[in-house]
Amino acid sequence: MTAFNYDVDGETLARFFASDAFVRGIRGPVGSGKSVAGCIEIFRRAVAQEPSPIDGLQKTRWAVIRNTQPELKTTTIKTWLDWFPEEQYGKFNWSPPFTHYIKRGKLDMEVIFLALDKPEDVKKLLSLELTGAFMNEAREANKQILDGTTMRVGRYPSQRDGGPTWSGVIMDTNSPDEDHWWAIMSGEVPPPDWMSPEELSQMVKPADWEFFTQPAAMLSHLNKETGLTEYTDNPLRENQVGLPAGYYERMVAGKSKAWLDVYVANKYGSLTDGKPVYRDFDKKLHVASEPFPVFTGQTVYVGIDFGLSPAAILGQKYRGRWYIHKEIVAKDMGIERFSSLLKEAMASMPTNDFSIWGDPAGDQRAQTDEDTPFKILRSKGVMARPTDTNDPALRIDAATAPLNRLVEKKPGILINPECKVLIKGFEDGYHYRRMQVTGTERFDTSPNKNRFSHPHDAFQYMMLGGGEGKLLTRSGTPSKVVVKKKNWDVFGQKRRIERPNSLKNW
């Protein structure tokens, strides 16, 4: 067998190799040597396996996992064969399941390559007896895939052959979204509020798990003259020897900041292959730099989206501007339990004046249940009403109108920075899915249903309930907002509106 040279190029990579943790993962920018490190670690552990007392062979069996078969073949297997080519290490079996048998001297090594992109694909693992596994690009894997993998390792070689010298799961990934299991279990991001106690218990990092984070490949700097973000090489980046000169400089050109944050700066974030619904959203303009207080004594509008992933948005309209205070985003939760969360949020606000609106479909009975979501809410003391329409186009227009509006030279909507799911939906999470067609670029006509669509549906119902829909239908376009210095009722009596001093700058 031909020897090969591999030099560990980076402190984080070195700590990754030195760890004996049962599960360990390394997160880093593109080109940082993560995937190669995973491949090398498999071979290193196979060579370190104690020989069987029966036949003297170093027996190990490994699974290499990727989310889809095309990516498995074009990236993961390609990386493996770059380091362990067939002509030197033995024939690669290209019939599923893709397998590489390496038998040289005492080394008896089997590497099985699997595509597991759905939780139900865990059944592919159930018959395997493995020494260890490598999850390549783990951000694409469901937590159930990881849980299933941990059950199958440590089972080969058998105890009769001496058992595995080391067993476990190794992982690599580019940065996932902030509510991904990797981000939460690593302790780098707090769990989202919508997680149930049962879900939270599954996100606690076991003592024998380790997560490693590589330095950014490039550092970002704001050019004060141009107002643009510029990038320079990070002297601490890893795998410097393994990349050609100018690799990252060429990569930066023409990429969005969101893309660069994930793949170059190694920051948590998501990239969506779709067209944002709200193209006029500007985070710097429409999201406050810090949380702001509620207007005392003023109406709080609430929008609710029903279903098994219910959501609610709470906001106020003051002097022609919308102030979005809270979001409630749940998962796998019935309307009764959700109503308790909503009541807690409402009780925390300094007002008893609520205007609550929801999907008109929530007033329809299911064939198996006489109750409706609105009826259940009312039984809990939440007096919600259906909006006049559920027309998606009108809902989106009603939600878009404040984004394009200036009131007293300020944006027509301001969002509390703590409404993270809503904000991420505004950026790109709530989007039109790209259609898989050749030729011209095409997108679906309806927004993609995902975890961002539920709070945005609720936001749209709030906008309709708050009168934005009527502004649109009255004249076909949003009416011009006229803000007076004093607010008079129809009887000519001056009405005083309380305005906290702390809001004078918003």
CATH number for the domain that contains residue 377: 3.30.420
Does residue 26 lie in a domain region? Answer: yes
State whether 88 and 207 are in the same domain.
yes
State whether 259 and 335 are in the same domain.
no
Does residue 387 lie in a domain region? Answer: yes
At which of 213, 229, 248 does a domain end? Answer: 213
Does residue 29 lie in a domain region? Answer: yes
State whether 322 and 255 are in the same domain.
no
State whether 226 and 92 are in the same domain.
no
Does residue 432 lie in a domain region? Answer: no
State whether 245 and 115 are in the same domain.
no
User: What does each of the 506 residues of the chain score in pLDDT, given as a tens digit?
Assistant: 556 789 999 999 999 999 999 999 999 999 999 999 999 999 999 999 999 999 999 999 999 999 888 899 999 999 999 999 999 999 999 998 899 999 999 999 999 999 986 666 677 788 899 999 999 999 988 898 999 999 999 999 999 999 999 999 999 999 998 888 999 999 999 887 667 788 889 999 999 999 999 999 999 888 778 777 788 999 999 999 989 989 999 988 888 888 898 999 999 977 666 788 888 898 889 999 999 999 988 899 999 999 888 999 999 999 999 999 999 998 878 888 899 999 999 999 988 899 999 988 865 554 334 578 898 999 988 999 999 888 889 999 999 999 989 998 899 999 999 998 999 899 888 888 776 555 566 777 888 888 889 999 999 999 999 999 887 665 554 444 444 343 434 344 444 444 444 444 55
Residue 377 three-state SS = helix
The token pair at 73 is 């073949």
Residue-level pLDDT at 226: 76
State whether 183 and 232 are in the same domain.
no
Which CATH number do you get for residue 175? 3.40.50.300
Rounded Cα gap, residues 332 and 196, in angstroms:
9
State whether 67 and 183 are in the same domain.
yes
Rounded Cα gap, residues 374 and 365, in angstroms:
10
The token pair at 492 is 């000519």
State whether 42 and 103 are in the same domain.
yes
State whether 241 and 190 are in the same domain.
no
Residue-level pLDDT at 506: 56
Cβ atoms 47, 107 nearer than 8 A: yes
Report how far apart, in Å, the C-alpha atoms of 274 and of each of 3, 268, 419, 444, 504 are. 46, 19, 22, 9, 38
State whether 225 and 193 are in the same domain.
no
Cβ-Cβ contacts under 8 Å for 375 (sequence gap 6 or more): none
Cβ-Cβ contacts under 8 Å for 113 (sequence gap 6 or more): 63, 64, 66, 72, 76, 77, 80, 97, 98, 99, 100
State whether 186 and 83 are in the same domain.
yes
Which residue in the block uniquely carries the two structure tokens 């007293």? 408
Count of domains observed in the chain: 3
HEC secondary structure over 22-46: CEEEEECCCCCCHHHHHHHHHHHHH
Cβ atoms 306, 373 nearer than 8 A: yes
Does residue 279 lie in a domain region? Answer: no
- Sign for the pseudo-dihedral over CA of 316, 319, 322, 326: negative
Domain containing 253 equals: 218-266
Report how far Cα 417 is from the mean position of its chain's Cα atoms: 17
Rounded Cα gap, residues 342 and 391, in angstroms:
25
Q: Could you please report the per-residue DSSP string of 442-476?
A: -B-SS---STTHHHHHHHHHHHHHTTHHHHHHHHS
Residue 219 three-state SS = strand
Angle at which helices 453-465 and 468-475 cross, to 10°: 70
In degrees, rounded to 5, the angle at the alpha carbon of residue 394 between the alpha carbons of residues 373 and 422 is 65
Does residue 130 lie in a domain region? Answer: yes
The token pair at 437 is 């067609």
Cβ atoms 60, 49 nearer than 8 A: yes
Cβ-Cβ contacts under 8 Å for 388 (sequence gap 6 or more): 360, 464, 469
Residue 257 three-state SS = helix
Does residue 275 lie in a domain region? Answer: no
State whether 240 and 124 are in the same domain.
no
Does residue 448 lie in a domain region? Answer: no
The token pair at 275 is 């067209």
